[in-house]
Amino acid sequence: DYDMLFLSGYFEGSASIDSFMKSMGIQKELNQNDFPDFKKISHIWGVWDEYVFDRFYQEIKKLKEPFLAIIEPSTTHSPHNVPAKKWQRYDIKSKNGSWKNVLRYSDAALGEFIKKTKVSTTYLIIGIVVLVLIGFLVKKYLFKNAKKK
């Protein structure tokens, strides 16, 4: 048997993903309601990524290997805000400025998580971030080129 965890930065029931995870046999599910003082560390869609990755790290340390742990951060969701001015490198009024700022912030949160985990025998698969980046590239390059025809 595997320990299985699903941690989401979103609110409970967001897109019914929690129901899907239950149907897949995930034993422990956490969402923004499971963060102490989540209202102080959240944005319009959920908890800021740095807190989600930190909580994920705390939770996976408790799991017995081998385990399956899935994380769903929420910061890269529109309207692409960041938690502090230090993450606003790009002009938010420019076409992709706020999106680039969010990617910069989310990437830093993910990077800190990876540093803390010191990945060795446990493999981390971070699909949400990859899907967001693929979505961005598809939008930017495929649709941009399709409109020119």
pLDDT profile of the chain (149 residues), mean per 10: 88 79 87 91 92 94 87 86 92 87 90 78 50 51 48
Eight-class DSSP state of 44: S
- What is each CA distance from 56 to 28, 32, 49, 80, in whole angstroms? 12, 12, 10, 22
Strand order in the sheet with 67-72: 28-30, 3-8, 67-72
So what's the pLDDT on residue 107? 87
So what's the pLDDT on residue 149? 45
Task: Choose among 128, 121, 112, 114: nearest CA to 72.
Answer: 128
